[in-house]
A and B are shown apart, each in its own frame.
Chain A
Amino acid sequence: MINYHPDSRMLNEFSAGSLPLAQSACVSLHLNYCSTCQRESRKLQQMGGMLFERLAPCEVDASLLDSVMSRLDEPAPLTYEAKTTATDESPALMRRLMKGGYKDLEWDRINSGLQISRLHTGDVENEFALYHIKAGRTIPRHTHKGTELTLVLEGSFSDEEGIYQRGDFLMRDAEHEHTPTAAKSEDCICIGVLDAPIKFTGWNYRALNPFLSLQAH
Chain B
Amino acid sequence: MPDEPPEDDSKMQGQIQVDENGSRNDEWSICLQQIGQTQCRASFERLFAHFAPLVKAFSMNGSAVSIANAEELVQEVMIKVWQKASAYNPQKAAASTWIYTIARNSRTDMFRRLRKFDTPLNAEDIWEEDTGDAPFIAVQERRNALQVKELLKTLPHEQAQILAKVYMEGKSHSEVAQELDIPLGTVKSRVRLAMQKLQIQVEK
Complex: A166 Cα to B68 Cα, angstroms: 45
Q: Which residue of B lies closest to A56 (CB)?
A: B57
A109 contacts the other chain (CB 8 A): no
Asked, given contacts A24-B126, A96-B120, whether A60 binds B200 with beta carbons under 8 Å apart, the answer is no
Contact of B71 with A60 in the complex, beta carbons under 8 Å: yes
A83 contacts the other chain (CB 8 A): yes
Sample (5) of A-B pairs whose CB atoms are under 8 Å apart: A15-B167, A43-B141, A48-B100, A50-B152, A122-B120
Q: Knowing that A42-B137, A68-B82, A120-B119 are A-B contacts, what are 10 other residue pairs whose CB atoms are under 8 Å apart, sorted by A's residue number?
A: A8-B188, A16-B167, A19-B172, A21-B121, A28-B127, A49-B101, A51-B167, A59-B56, A93-B121, A120-B120
Interface string of B85-120 (1 = CB under 8 A from A): 000000001101111110111011000100001111
Complex contacts, A31 vs chain B, CB 8 Å? 128
Assess the A43–B148 pair: CB atoms within 8 A: yes
Q: Is A48 a contact of B61 with CB atoms below 8 Å?
A: no
A40 to B204, CA, bound (A): 11
Total residues of chain B contacting the partner, CB 8 A: 76
Question: Once the chains are docked, how many angstroms separate the CA of A13 from the CA of B166?
Answer: 7
Cβ of B181 under 8 Å from chain A:
no
Which of A73-81, A138-146, A157-165, A177-185 lines the interface with chain B?
A73-81
How many of chain A's residues touch chain B, expressed as a range? 35 or more
Q: B171 in the interface, Cβ–Cβ < 8 Å?
A: yes
List B contacts of A72 (CB < 8 A): 41, 44, 79, 82
CB distance from B161 to the nearest CB of A (A): 11
Q: Which of B49-93 contact A (CB under 8 A)?
A: 49, 52-54, 56-58, 60-61, 70-71, 74-75, 78-79, 82-84, 93
A8: nearest chain-B partner, CB-CB: B192
